[in-house]
Structure 1
């Protein structure tokens, strides 16, 4: 019976997203609300970027109605674990509030552009709602040999990690299907983990979010611009999705019995699905810092840009990055059961560096061959 409460909201989210996106396409083309073209963008045709305005309303409404049905009709008795609603429900309430804040800012940014300083301030304000509901990283599970985290340090770490995730998800949104694919994969993995651990409310939210993204992924990847069937999510979509993924990640990382039983490798597993965008942003920031370039100025140095310059097609680059993300998720999920969290993180860094070095060597070899041929 409990599987129905994952499947039905998931299907409803898919159907609502499928019904709403064509209307968004119609309005954006009539009002000519297109993504501006510049040298940094991969696309060179006029494409609307307001697809993300469909995500938050569907997520919040489907989740809220699902909770109403479950509690009003006593369906929660079908789940194997008891639920301390007074502990976890405030977390979901502040998630809804933060989503509204970022949604409004995202729409404004997609329509008239918002200065990045204001974006950071508003993001921090939205993230500060988490500690109000007692949602914060309270245990590092031995990472850097730290276990319990003091309250204030945990709150600061939570704010930093969440803002970082929001912007990492936003920055990875530079290729058709990449951001939606990564978030969809992350939500499916996290949803499965939550459900396995009996945290079915979090699992429902994760599967609703994945369901919302399926129709968008189709329009974004397979839509044809000339037939007015292609759309981008814009900052409205990427920031609300980043906020949702961060909420799920922090929730799984937290050592709290009301959410899930204690799991030794929880924090490593939780962040595994986001390793590719996180490592990529760290790499780009370090390069900009050492080359004395503006840290927050957009450029074409992200992993998807490098793949495109090396000869990958758009879909080839997207599938490669999704494959890397899935690999790290499975690798970490297995290895945390046998070795310490510190060793798993060390292996992740070594693997990432090895992949980066091998890729750069392969690209340089290809360029050298081209120069010889010319």
Structure 2
């Protein structure tokens, strides 16, 4: 029956998103709520950026309806929701709502990155308060159990890190939503295999609305297109953080480290996570504020090789799928430290190849990146 519930949650989320998203597009065009292009952005025409408004309501409605049906069908859900899991989901909803609201404000009128950062830290702090925090590294760098005074701040850092990574990678059509779909798909499979049904339902509800948005973001014609916006990216980042953190916590009834599930699940986000480190380092080395945007993300670099936007999106999604598959296979043979080493070597090698492709393209076109892309206004 749980497989039916998971599938039903996904279909209900798709149905609700199919109803809600076109209404958001209609209101956005009627009220002229557009993301206006500037020197930093890739798109050339104004596009609504309120697609993320649909995410949290659709996820909550789908999850609550299916959970209610499970109660009526006398499924054994009462022990689950009377346990610590209920407390975690209460704090999850509170933290997601905070980020959702600040994201909506940013999409409508603009919010300072300092204010968003404070709200992100506050929302991230809810998860340790709910009892969900990193208490074991599963042998990563030779470390296993860690005390609360290290694990709780590390949890807050990781949540803020993942949330910002999803937000920052949202630079071209289909990229953030596509990477999120890959992550959620793997999480559904893993949660199902290990019997974490409630988390599988949450991932299914999220996947349903994101995959519907992906269609409107990538395949819609002019006049039907929309962007995710901060309301969407912050919501997705927080939910992914919640689901992935579950695989970094050793409990009496739950050992996610036997199959290196901690590394397998977080490998779905290695592209945005590692890209944030590279971009921040580049900004600091150049003497710029690391929190102010530029055009130095990996999708910008691939565009400078001469690729089209759609090709860049597909390339990065394929790279993400490769990392997920490789880490899943490697989890049976090597430990977490060597898995991380493999990922870092692959990431650095990829950038060497990309840099050479950029140089080759610049020689062919005579167009220098540093003259065209570095000195742009930082308006966001």
Taking structure 1 as the reference length, the TM-score comes to: 0.94
**Partner of residue 263 from structure 2, selected from 235, 259, 268:** 268
Contact 2:173 2:313 in 1 (8 A): yes
Change (3 A) 1:257 1:179: farther
Q: Once structures 1 and 2 are overlaid, which stretch shifts more, 359-368 or 144-153?
A: 359-368
Question: Partner of 1:256 in structure 2?
Answer: 251
Contact 1:180 1:213 in 2 (8 A): yes
Question: Partner of 1:23 in structure 2?
Answer: 23
Q: Does 1:233 align with 2:195?
A: no
1:263-302 → structure 2 map (5 Å cutoff): 263-302=258-297
Contact 2:59 2:205 in 1 (8 A): yes
**Distance in 2 (alpha carbons) for counterparts of 1:362 and 1:255:** 44
State the Cα distance separating 1:280 from its structure 2 match. Answer: 0.7
Question: Partner of 1:367 in structure 2?
Answer: 362
> CA offsets, 1:219-242, max 9 Å, x none?
1001122xx100001000000011
Q: Does 1:105 align with 2:102?
A: yes
> CA offsets, 1:193-234, max 9 Å, x none?
011011011011111111111221111001122xx1000010
State the Cα distance separating 1:253 from its structure 2 match. Answer: 2.0
Question: Partner of 1:126 in structure 2?
Answer: 123
Contact 2:306 2:361 in 1 (8 A): no
State the Cα distance separating 1:287 from its structure 2 match. Answer: 1.1
**Distance in 2 (alpha carbons) for counterparts of 1:236 and 1:199:** 27
State the Cα distance separating 1:187 from its structure 2 match. Answer: 0.4
Q: Does 1:188 align with 2:188?
A: no
Question: Partner of 1:65 in structure 2?
Answer: 65
**Distance in 1 (alpha carbons) for counterparts of 2:271 and 2:29:** 33
State the Cα distance separating 1:44 from its structure 2 match. Answer: 1.1
Question: Partner of 2:239 in structure 1?
Answer: 244
**Distance in 2 (alpha carbons) for counterparts of 1:222 and 1:59:** 23
Question: Partner of 2:346 in structure 1?
Answer: 351
**Distance in 2 (alpha carbons) for counterparts of 1:234 and 1:317:** 20
1:146-225 → structure 2 map (5 Å cutoff): 146-225=143-222
Structure 1 gap ranges (5+)? none
Contact 1:199 1:259 in 2 (8 A): no
**Distance in 2 (alpha carbons) for counterparts of 1:84 and 1:234:** 32
SS where residue 75 of structure 1 aligns?
Answer: coil
State the Cα distance separating 1:114 from its structure 2 match. Answer: 0.6
State the Cα distance separating 1:290 from its structure 2 match. Answer: 1.6
Structure 2 gap ranges (5+)? 368-380
Question: Partner of 2:75 in structure 1?
Answer: 75
**Distance in 2 (alpha carbons) for counterparts of 1:199 and 1:156:** 25
State the Cα distance separating 1:64 from its structure 2 match. Answer: 1.7
Question: Partner of 1:325 in structure 2?
Answer: 320
> CA offsets, 1:83-122, max 9 Å, x none?
4741212111111111111111111111111111110111
**Distance in 1 (alpha carbons) for counterparts of 2:251 and 2:106:** 36
Q: Does 1:139 align with 2:136?
A: yes
Superposed structure 1 runs of 4+ greater than 6 Å apart:
none
- Structural RMSD (CA): 1.6
Count of equivalent residues:
366
Taking structure 2 as the reference length, the TM-score comes to: 0.93
Change (3 A) 1:44 1:340: same
> CA offsets, 1:66-92, max 9 Å, x none?
222213432238xxxx84741212111
Contact 1:251 1:259 in 2 (8 A): no
SS where residue 76 of structure 1 aligns?
Answer: coil
SS where residue 128 of structure 1 aligns?
Answer: helix
State the Cα distance separating 1:367 from its structure 2 match. Answer: 2.6
> CA offsets, 1:235-264, max 9 Å, x none?
000000110111111112222255565534
**Distance in 1 (alpha carbons) for counterparts of 2:162 and 2:31:** 32
Contact 1:199 1:260 in 2 (8 A): no
Question: Partner of 2:48 in structure 1?
Answer: 48
State the Cα distance separating 1:368 from its structure 2 match. Answer: 2.7
